[in-house]
C-alpha cells in the first residue's frame, strides 16, 4: 500500500514537485472552471487556451523556452483576446461565442505560424503538451502565485460575479461593476490557463479547469460546495494521474486529464444532482 501511494513521492523530488504544481493548478482552476461552466462559457476556456498561443510563441521567439517570456507573452495575448471579445460582444451585435471564436482561431493560427518560424517542431510539441514532470522552482512559484491571486480575487468578486451570471441587467442597473468584473474574471481565466499550460500544455490546461468543475455540478446545487468539490476532484485527478504515470508508464499530462475525465464520467452516472442513475431510477415521490 505504502509503496503504491507514498513511495513514489517520498523517493523522487520531481514527483513531489509535480504534485505541488498540480495542486496549485487545481486550486485556481477549479473555482474558475465552476464559474465558466455556470456562465455557459465552458468552450470559452478552450478558446482562451488557444488564444494564448501566439503570445507564448512570441515570448518563445524572443527568448526560447523561458518562463517569464512565455508567461508574459501568453498573458498579453490572452488578455487582449479576452478584452477584445468581451468588448465586441458588449457593444456590437455579435455575441460572445462568435467573436471569441473568430479571435481565438486567428490567435491559434498566428501562434502556430510564429513557432514554426523559429524552426523546431519539438518545442511546439512542448508548448502544446507541456512538462509536468519538469517543474523548476520558478514555475512552481508562478503556479502558486496564480492560484493565490485567483482565490483572493474570487473571494472579493464573488457577489458581482454571481450577479453577472444570474441577472446582468439588474447588475447593470445598480452598479457599474458589471463590465470590469467580467473582464477581471476573463483575466483570471487567462492567468490560470497560462499557468496550466507551462505544466500541462495548451491542450490539457483547459482540462484541469473544466473537467473537475463539470464533475462537481452533479453533486451539489450550492456554488461554494461546487467550488470546493472541483478543487478536491482536481487534486485527486492530479494524484491519480501522477501515480498512473509512475506505475503504468503513461505520459503524465494526459494521465492526469484522463483521471479527471474518469471522475467526470463517474459523477455523470452517480452524482446526486442529476446523475444518470438517479434520473433513471428516481425513487418514490415526496409529500411536498
Partner 1 sequence: MQAGSTAIRFDGVTLGYDRRPAVHHLDGEIPSGSLMAVVGPNGAGKSTLLKGIVGTLKPLDGHIRLDGSSGIAYLPQAAEIDRSFPLSVYDLVAMGLWSRSGLFGGVARRERTRIEQALAAVGLIGFERRPISTLSGGQMQRALFARLLLQDAPVILLDEPFTAIDAKTTADLLDLVRRWHDESRTVVAVLHDLDMVKRTFPQTLLIAREPVAWGETGEVLSAENLLKARRMVEAYDPHADVCHRHVA
Partner 2 sequence: MPTRRAAFSLLAGCLALAASSLPAAAQNAQKLKVVATFSILGDMVRNVGGERVEVTTLVGPNGDAHVYSPTPADGRRLTEAGIVFTNGLKFEGWIDRLVKSSGTRAAKIEAAKGVKTLEGEAGGHDHGHGGSDPHAWQSIGNAKIYVANIRDALIAADEAGKATYEANAAAYLGRLDAVEAEIRGLVAGIPADRRRIITSHDAFRYFEEAYGIDFVAPQGVSTESEASAKDVARIIQQIRREKIAAVFVENVSDARLMERIAQETGARIGAKVYSDALSEPGGPAGTYIDMMRHNIRAFSAALSS
Binding residues (CB under 8 A) for partner 2: these are 8, 11-15, 17-18, 65, 116, 119-122, 125-126, 129, 131, 133-136, 242, 245-255
Q: Based on CB atoms, which residue is closest to partner 1, 105 or 166? A: 166
Supply the Cα-derived Rg of the chain in whole angstroms. Answer: 19
Give the count of beta carbons closer than 10 Å to the beta carbon of residue 89: 17
Q: Based on CB atoms, which residue is closest to partner 1, 163 or 231? A: 163
Q: Read off the C-alpha cell for 275.
A: 446523475
Q: Based on CB atoms, which residue is closest to partner 2, 30 or 254? A: 254
Place of cell 498573458: 75
Q: How far is the CB of 174 from partner 1 (least distance, A)?
A: 5
User: Rounded to an integer, what distance in angstroms lies between the CA atom of residue 31 and that of residue 27?
Assistant: 7
- Residue positions counted in the chain: 288
Q: How far is the CB of 132 from partner 2 (least distance, A)?
A: 9
Q: Based on CB atoms, which residue is closest to partner 2, 110 or 250? A: 250
* CB-count exposure of residue 177 (10 Å: 0-12, 13-18, 19+): middle
Residue 251's binding partner, choosing from partner 2, partner 1, none, with beta-carbon cut-off 5 to 8 A by kind?
partner 2
Residue 13's binding partner, choosing from partner 1, partner 2, none, with beta-carbon cut-off 5 to 8 A by kind?
partner 2
Show contacts of 163-166: CB within 8 Å, 24+ apart. Answer: 164/39, 165/35, 165/38, 165/39
Q: How far is the CB of 268 from partner 1 (least distance, A)?
A: 17
Residue 5's binding partner, choosing from partner 2, partner 1, none, with beta-carbon cut-off 5 to 8 A by kind?
none
Amino acid at each position: 500500500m505504502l509503496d503504491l501511494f507514498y513511495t513514489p513521492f517520498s523517493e523522487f523530488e520531481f514527483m513531489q514537485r509535480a504534485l505541488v504544481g498540480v495542486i496549485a493548478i487545481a486550486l485556481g482552476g477549479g473555482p474558475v472552471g465552476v464559474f465558466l461552466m455556470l456562465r455557459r462559457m465552458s468552450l470559452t476556456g478552450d478558446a482562451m487556451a488557444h488564444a494564448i498561443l501566439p503570445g507564448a510563441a512570441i515570448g518563445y521567439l524572443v527568448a526560447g523556452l523561458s518562463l517569464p517570456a512565455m508567461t508574459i507573452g501568453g498573458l498579453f495575448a490572452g488578455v487582449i483576446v479576452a478584452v477584445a471579445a468581451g468588448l465586441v460582444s458588449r457593444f456590437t451585435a455579435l455575441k460572445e461565442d462568435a467573436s471569441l471564436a473568430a479571435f481565438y482561431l486567428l490567435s491559434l493560427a498566428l501562434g502556430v505560424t510564429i513557432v514554426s518560424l523559429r524552426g523546431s517542431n519539438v518545442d511546439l510539441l512542448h508548448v502544446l503538451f507541456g512538462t509536468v514532470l519538469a517543474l523548476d522552482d520558478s514555475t512552481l512559484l508562478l503556479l502558486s502565485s496564480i492560484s493565490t491571486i485567483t482565490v483572493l480575487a474570487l473571494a472579493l468578486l464573488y457577489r458581482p460575479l454571481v450577479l453577472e451570471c444570474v441577472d446582468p441587467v439588474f447588475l447593470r442597473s445598480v452598479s457599474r461593476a458589471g463590465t470590469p468584473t467580467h473582464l477581471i474574471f476573463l483575466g483570471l481565466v487567462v492567468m490560470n490557463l497560462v499557468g496550466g499550460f507551462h505544466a500541462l500544455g495548451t491542450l490539457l490546461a483547459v482540462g484541469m479547469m473544466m473537467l473537475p468543475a463539470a464533475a462537481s455540478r452533479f453533486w451539489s446545487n450550492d456554488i461554494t460546495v461546487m467550488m470546493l468539490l472541483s478543487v478536491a476532484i482536481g487534486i485527486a485527478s492530479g494524484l491519480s494521474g501522477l501515480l498512473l504515470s509512475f506505475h503504468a508508464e503513461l505520459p503524465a499530462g494526459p494521465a492526469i486529464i484522463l483521471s479527471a475525465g474518469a471522475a467526470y464520467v463517474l459523477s455523470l452516472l452517480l452524482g446526486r444532482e442529476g446523475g444518470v442513475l438517479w434520473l433513471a431510477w428516481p425513487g418514490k415521490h415526496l409529500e411536498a
